[in-house]
């Protein structure tokens, strides 16, 4: 499925979160409804501006993002970083920043939004290691 037909990101809508085109329905919001047990039918009844195809696009988008993402255990990463004298943390951070810039490079937006996201991720990582 071509999810780009249904989902886009605009820095002026929900601070650039991926949303269903023509709505303010964010991908993460719709996934959250499903995680809470909402059925496809219930979602479509409650959000008539949403089509079945657009809801399917949410899954296609998420599958694509997950395919490109590497997930690490934070606990083991923190322990390894401490054991190695923190030498791994800067390398992982640079790699994550590069992936963020690559992932959002197709979205025409001010680079400061990507920088802001990177800064937030850095702050989260520092709080977790404290």
- 51: domain CATH number is 1.10.10.10
C-beta separation of 9 from 21 below 8 A: no
Span 29-46, pLDDT tens digits: 999 999 999 999 999 999
Q: Minimum mean pLDDT among 1-5, 13-17, 31-35, 90-94: which range?
A: 90-94
Q: What is the pLDDT of residue 30?
A: 95
Span 88-111, pLDDT tens digits: 444 555 666 666 667 666 655 555
pLDDT band at 64 (very low <50, low <70, confident <90, very high): confident
| pTM of the predicted model as reported, rounded to 2 decimal places | 0.55
Are 29 and 57 found together in one domain?
Answer: yes
Are 32 and 60 found together in one domain?
Answer: yes
Higher-scoring residue by pLDDT: 106, 27:
27
Strand intervals (E) in 25-105: none
Domain of residue 9: give its range: 3-68
Are 88 and 42 found together in one domain?
Answer: no
Domain boundary, last residue among 17, 44, 68:
68
| Helices first, then strands: H and E counts in the chain | 6, 2
Are 10 and 58 found together in one domain?
Answer: yes
Are 28 and 47 found together in one domain?
Answer: yes
Query: How many folded domains does the chain comprise?
Result: 2
């Amino acid at each position: 499925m071509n999810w780009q037909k249904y989902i886009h990101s605009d820095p002026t809508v929900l601070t650039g979160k991926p949303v269903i085109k023509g709505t303010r329905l964010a991908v993460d919001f719709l996934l959250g409804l499903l995680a809470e047990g909402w059925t496809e039918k219930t979602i479509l009844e409650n959000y008539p501006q949403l089509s079945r195809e657009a809801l399917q696009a949410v899954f296609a988008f998420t599958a694509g993002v997950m395919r490109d993402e590497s997930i690490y255990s934070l606990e083991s990463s923190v322990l390894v970083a401490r054991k190695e004298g923190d030498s791994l943390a800067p390398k992982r951070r640079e790699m994550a920043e590069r992936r963020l810039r690559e992932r959002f490079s197709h979205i025409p937006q001010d680079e400061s939004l990507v920088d802001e996201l990177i800064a937030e991720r850095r702050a989260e990582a520092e709080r977790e290691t404290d």
